[in-house]
Chain A
Amino acid sequence: MGQPNYTPNDIKPLPVALPLNEEGLAFYEKKYNRDYNQWTEILQKNVERMTKGDLSLHWMNTEGSSWGKRAKPSSRGLTYTDVNKLATSGKMEAETRWMNFAPRGSIREPYFDVMPVIEDYTVASRDELWADNVVTLYEEAVARQWSATRDIPWGELEPLPEDLEKASCQLFTFLTEVEFVAGDFPAKWLYRIPQDFLEVKSFLATQLMDEARHQEVFRKRALAGGGLLHASPGFEWALKAILDAPTHTMGTFLLNLLGEGLVLSIFRSGEMIAKTHVDKEIFRRTLQDEARHVSYGVLELKNYLDTHPDREKAVEEMHRFADVGEQIILTAFTESTVIEPVSILLGGGLDKIEQGLEGMLKVWAMFIEEYLQRCDRAGFNRRERCKIPIHAPW
């Protein structure tokens, strides 16, 4: 190997440390200096009062509230349903004008004009988010959390024959790849949703936690079985299409109803074809979580369509979106990185992959029929327009 053809004098200086931080800080300073009068007025009043030794105690005035009614727990504890029976919990309006953190049900009207506006809160309409089962699903999610570290009998994991282990690890690699989009999508929208829709925000937070745990458990399983195998470009495009969905309802349809509906079917298949009790336990736990997300997706779409002032237009827009979304999802679910390992596990080995592929034909038809049934349940008939063939393309 020859000497490098440069001298120390040729080495360029390192870039200025963290230029983005500098830029961001300058913007932050400018922004809060712009609003200086508004927040310093509050500060000044408070300092003056405290300097005089005065107390405000205005917060003890309950005028304009339903103060005095106490929330009572039901047999399962104090649920959102229990507290929402009280007027003091506040009414969820169809459109909220509260683009700040003031809790629904608090005495907040007198302060409206002096509160900041959170520019990122862009989803002001309840019916872009709401589902009639969202409170139930939130309480269920909280009650049914589990630990990927503690609740899986990892100590029982035994090595499988190489073809089955590789198929298992490829399946778990694919699942690791897809799981966090179901966290990133609600995360993307969570901070755009005003506080008045706290029940929906709470449910989306459980979905985030669920998906973090799924990514965790699948990653751990792959690494415990030999390692992560191949990433899947076809899935990457589907995941990007979910994140890029133009509205919360459209993205929820593509992610929760279609995508997670299909992943739920894969989890059920995974449980059926699992070669170890460890894998069975993993799939039984994850499929429960996934089914909650699917249920939210079905009734969120139903509520959106049922409450839309121009249902026909809303349905047609959803069809246009689904026309694209289904094709991209089809791209993903034809990837060899998922079809082949599942077929090997279903057949019982690489030498029985043909039998596995035949078995997949039956399961595929069932997957798609279940998707169409969920669309029907939401009042969104995709049977004539569905871009995913009812029969598997092989």
Chain B
Amino acid sequence: MKTATTGALSNGRYWIAHNSGVLTAVVLFVAMFTLYISNHSAGLTPAVATTAANKAVLLALVAMAQTLPVLTRGLDLSVGMVFVMANCIASVIVVGTVGEGMLGIVAVLLIGALAGFINGAIVVWGRLQPIITTLATGAVYYGISLFVRPGPGGDVQSDIADLLTGQLFNTVPAALVVLLVVVLVVWIPYRRSVLGRAAYAVGSNEQAAYMSGVPVQKAKLLAYTLAGVLASVAGLMLTFNTYSGEASAPIAGTYTLNSIAAVVIGGTSLFGGWGSAIGSIFGAFVLRTIEDLLFVFDLPPLWQPLFQGVVLLLAVSLGAFRILRVRNRLELFS
């Protein structure tokens, strides 16, 4: 296991080295967001911040979901589909009074957990590769989304939706509070739990973790299940933003792929065992701010996809700096 929480703060240099990936993403985001705000005609008003937050929190939650399987050296290509499925189901059952809406939210979260658990069960007990498993279950979840909502539409409980996508005390974007609550209620306890640390161990070296008595299977099951829960939280937030549901394969695909990019930009290793969901949040913020920057700088619309692609490629290429650090060429073949 490459991480140690105790005594990390007492050794500042160690802490910085350990979190360099997250810090890079944070610095990148702050720099880009400052550039964005300073060029925005309205400046940093609560309305501008809320719009930015509502968009960014969706990808941040999906990226957090992606982080958990990646830490165990897995991958979840179905996060986007679970996200869309939660969106479609929420647009059907999160309706009525506030109480009924809350029940609906709980149901959607349970469905997300079940979807993630199925992924985990096939990976753990079926012993199939995560990539191909989640590719196939993603198709199933997309089919269910289409079944629930053949065409775009639906509705959502508007009181809850307005509360969660508006502003708290007219200043703080509520979506950011939701994200903070998710971090405090899901990520921090998970990171400190036995199974959370086991996930890092499994990602570092599954064989060694198994020999050391680490609960490998439980750790993987929990990682995929929580990924399903987080993806469905994102799906709920999407529903609250759009007041409708849509079974869209392009949206699902974009979120899946961007979530992987956000995870990498946030300093998490795709080879497992290294990184954190906090980094992924800022990775997602960076990706979102790129789009906003293109908007304020008035780039010709035709150039935007190319610019976005080049920035994405450069951002993920930052990982290439590790080849300067290796002492032995054989370390490269991981």
Chains A and B come from one and the same complex: no
**B contacts, CB < 8 Å to A:** none
